[in-house]
Amino acid sequence: MALIVKKFGGSSVATPEKIFNIVDRVLREKQADDKIVLVVSAMGDTTDDLVALAKQVTSKPYGREMDRLLSTGEQVTIALMAMAFNERGQESVSLTGDQAGITSSDTFNKGRILGVDPNRVFEALDEGKIVVVAGFQGITEYGDMVTLGRGGSDTTAVALAGAMKADVCEIFTDVDGVYSTDPRVAKEAFKLEEVTYGEMLEMARLGAGVMQPRAVEMGFRYGVPIHVRSTFSDKPGTIIREDYTVEANKHVITGVADDTNTAKVALVGVENKPGVAATVFKALAARNVDVDMIVQSIRSVGEPKTDLIFTVAMDDVVLAREVLEELQKAVDIEAVNIDEKMAKVSIIGAGMLGQPGVAAQMFDILSQEGINIEIISTSEISISCLVAEDRVKDAVRVIHNGLLLDQRG
């Protein structure tokens, strides 16, 4: 007997036919005593359609009412999926995030899961039912529905799997695993048999769309193996776990990621004195604007002005602009410039620790391709460069083929 949590994304449940395909697959693979929980996203482009609908009535599509609207997408899917299981003769019940015991912070549009009480899920499983849970949503202590941000259904699935001590959490997507980079960009991309939580977390954080960063964090916290698989194939995918089980799968660089959901913010002519940067970033944090790459450039020695440059997600551009324009009244800032035509390219790999020369190789490859680097940031296992959006795919391709293929011989 196994307890398995399976997550299916929007493209996998886009039509009633696809929903029945999932139902038939789950029933075909299910062993007699297996207990199965499904976590599902909204059907197809439903979430995007709801966002577009909101924009027809407001220029500020965020906050409590936006979450109330967006959470309806998953509720349609869970009802249809449970109906489909029942139609096939398998008892099933649908549960919203609230009913599944998922509590969240009150940060609308970017909620964080604070806890999971899966008692109602266990009760349904003990009754022999397959449980279908709405991903992407949780409930605050005040009873408000909160969505969990992009890829939030992944987080729901892994959090449930962890709280329930599931044997594995399977994430089904439209690709058959985690690749060294996007195969649509570099045709030489290869599937990774396994990858560590740390590497996958960096890849997800830096733009690899297969997994959501918070989901990987949950996997690491609970020690839940995550199996990324294809909805449309029975082949094994990629296992995300604490460490490699096969030494041959470990390389200096594991993958190349890109993120076009990035805007560069330049605060021009900021007072060069203690406390100004703190004031700026406290104001952004108070409005839940995530800031990533940060550079402060000194114009010249003794210059009373400096330029403060950083990146934010495109989703936060409107809010960031509001905050910074308000801040101009209190802080001496000559200009606030936002460039939405930027993107980030990154290399990730635990093997880079103690391996000199990797950054130099990356920068040299970009230079030879004529790609200018605007900002550089690093972590222990990643190096990221901000480049023009119209060159980021070129950057991914040449870095992947120049570094990853070379290390594989």
Binding-site residue ranges: 7-10, 47, 74, 173-174, 179, 184
Pick out the residues of the known binding site for substrate.
47, 74
Residue 38 in contact with residue 84, Cβ under 8 Å?
no
User: What is the spatial distance between Cα 406 and Cα 176, in angstroms, rounded to a whole number?
Assistant: 24
**The tokens of 57 are what?**
């009535």
Query: H-helix or E-strand containing 355?
Result: none
Angle ∠(19,20,22) on CA atoms, nearest 5 = 65
Q: How far apart are the first and last CA of the chain?
A: 42
Pick out the residues of the known binding site for ATP.
7-10, 173-174, 179, 184
Hey, what long-range contacts does 117-123 have (CB within 8 A, 24 or more apart)? 117/163, 118/160, 118/163, 118/164, 120/95, 121/37, 121/95, 121/160, 121/164, 122/164
What is the SS3 assignment for 280-329? HHHHHHHCCCCEEEEEEEECCCCCCEEEEEEEEEHHHHHHHHHHHHHHCC
Residue 342 in contact with residue 263, Cβ under 8 Å?
yes
User: What is the spatial distance between Cα 397 and Cα 37, in angstroms, rounded to a whole number?
Assistant: 38
Q: Count Cβ atoms within 10 A of the Cβ of residue 36 and give its class: 0-12 exposed, 13-18 middle, 19 or more buried.
A: buried
